[in-house]
Chains A and B, each alone.
Chain A
C-alpha cells in the first residue's frame, strides 16, 4: 500500500511552518505509523532532504512521547491507542493523511512535529507528588485501601501525560490531564495530607501556563489513549471547590 502525506514542516520554534506533501514508499500494512515515517525519512535522507522530526521513545504505548494529529484526531483513528500503536492497516491504500503536531499555545513547536510539553512538567511539579518517609520500605498492605478507591486511582494513574487531551480539545484545555493526576493521588490515603494544597497549586499552574477552560465537549475522553473518563474532571472540579473554601 501507499499513502499521500501532508506533513507540517517547521525549521525551528521561530520559523513559520507550512505543509509539504509526500508520497510514501511501498508500505507493509502491518507497519506501525511511526515505522511508516521511518521508511519515508530514510528515503528523504537518501535524497539529501531533511528528515521529518517527530517525537517517540518506547514505541509500545506506555511512555506518552509520541504525539501526532492524524487527520484532525490526536493519535489517529483507532480508539484507546497511542500513535506508536497505530498501524497502517487502519488506513486504506491511496489515503491522504494530514499529519500535524499537537497545537496549543502552552505546547510551542520545537521543530516539524515535535512540540515542547514542559508546561505539563511544571503542572506536575506544582503539586503532583506525595510526601513519604524514605529509607526502609513500609510493610505492604499496612494501609488499608478500599478496592473501589484503588481501582479508580489505577484508572486515573493510567495517564501517560502525552497531551492528546489538550491537542483534541477545542479550547486546548488540560483539564483531563490535571484531573487524572489530582485524582490518582487524591484517591489514595497517602495522597490525603496534600490533597487540597495539591489541587489548588496544580489548577493555578494550569491557568498560568495558558491552557483553556473545559466546555465539556468530550473530545479529550474520545482521544485519550488510556481512555480516562470525564468523571475525573468532575472530581477535580469538586476538589478545587473545596480547596477554595479551605
Chain B
C-alpha cells in the first residue's frame, strides 16, 4: 500500500503506471483486432467466436473489469499529470514553443480523449446495442441467426457489423478514432520503454521503429473493416437478408 501511494505521489511513478496500463491496453487492442478480423471469413466464423465469448461470463466480465481498471488508472494519471504539467508553465512563450518535438508527442492527451470518447460510443453502439445512436433507426439486438450444425439462436454479430458500418458518419468517426489511436500509439509505445527505463542508444532506434510499425499495423487492421463494408460492399447481400428477417420479427 505504501509503495502504491509512493508511486502515485511521484511524477515518475505515475509514468510507470501510465506505461504499465498502456501495455495492458495495447495487449487488448491487439487481441480485439485479431478477433474482429474474423469478419473477413464467412459469417459463421465471427458469430461462433462472439457466441463463445458470451458463453464464458467469467472470462468476459473478468476482462471487462480489468480493462475498466486499466483505462481508469491510465486516464487518472494522464489527467493529473497534464494538469500539473500545465501549471509548471504559467506564462506561455510568445515566440514559439516545444522545439524539435513531433505533433503526436505533444498531443497524447488530445488523442487519448478522442479515443476515450470513441470507446464510450463503441460500447453503446455494439455492446449495449443502443439503437438511437447507430444511425440506422433499427434495433441491432433483434439480429439473430443460427450457427451451422446447431439449432441455437445466437446474435448475428456479422450482420450487425455490416449494417453498422454502412452508415457513413459512423464509419467516419471510427476511422478518425483509429487515426488518433495510430498517433497515440506511435508516440506512446516508444515512450513506454523510456518511462520504464528500458532504453539505451542502441535500442532506441529499434524501439521507435517497433512503435511506428505496430501502430501502423493496428491502424490498417482496424480501418480495413469499416472501409471493406462501406467502400468495398462486403457482406451487403447477407445484411439485406438479415434486415428482411428482422423486419418480419419487428412486424410480429
B12 touches A237 (CB 8 A): yes
Task: Give me 10 other A-B pairs in contact (C-beta within 8 A), A168-B100, A206-B11, A219-B99 excluded.
Answer: A69-B95, A103-B90, A171-B89, A203-B10, A212-B11, A219-B101, A230-B194, A234-B194, A241-B16, A241-B196
The list of the 3 closest CB pairs from A to B, nearest first, reads A72-B96, A222-B100, A238-B197
Task: For the complex formed, measure the closest distance between the CB of B1 and the CB atoms of chain A, giving whole angstroms.
Answer: 13
B95 touches A98 (CB 8 A): yes
A215 touches B196 (CB 8 A): no
Choose, from B80-88, B141-149, B177-185, B231-239, the stretch at the interface.
B80-88
Contacts of A71 in B (CB 8 A): 95-96
A residues 170-189 in Cβ contact with B at 8 Å: 170-173
State the CA gap A172–B81 with chains docked (Å). 12
Q: Size of chain B's interface in residues, with CB distance under 8 A?
A: 47
Task: For the complex formed, measure the closest distance between the CB of A46 and the CB atoms of chain B, giving whole angstroms.
Answer: 28
Closest to A109 in B: B91
Which residue of B96, B102, B108, B201 contacts A231 across the interface (Cβ within 8 Å)? Answer: B201
A217 touches B199 (CB 8 A): no
A72 touches B10 (CB 8 A): no
Contact with B along A194-221 (1 / 0, CB 8 A): 0000000001101100111111111101
- Sample of 24 A–B contacts (CB below 8 Å): A6-B95, A72-B99, A98-B96, A100-B95, A103-B89, A171-B89, A203-B11, A207-B10, A210-B88, A212-B11, A212-B86, A213-B81, A213-B84, A216-B191, A217-B98, A217-B101, A221-B100, A234-B200, A237-B12, A237-B15, A240-B12, A241-B16, A244-B3, A245-B3
B88 touches A231 (CB 8 A): no
Contacts of A170 in B (CB 8 A): 85, 89, 97-98, 101, 106
Contact with B along A67-105 (1 / 0, CB 8 A): 001111110000000000000000000000011100111
* B105 interfacial contact with A, CB 8 Å: yes
* B195 interfacial contact with A, CB 8 Å: yes
B89 touches A104 (CB 8 A): yes
* A19 interfacial contact with B, CB 8 Å: yes
State the CA gap A210–B10 with chains docked (Å). 11
State the CA gap A171–B91 with chains docked (Å). 12
Contacts of A223 in B (CB 8 A): 99-100
B residues 98-117 in Cβ contact with A at 8 Å: 98-102, 105-106, 108
A172 touches B88 (CB 8 A): yes
Task: For the complex formed, measure the closest distance between the CB of B187 and the CB atoms of chain A, giving whole angstroms.
Answer: 7
* A235 interfacial contact with B, CB 8 Å: yes
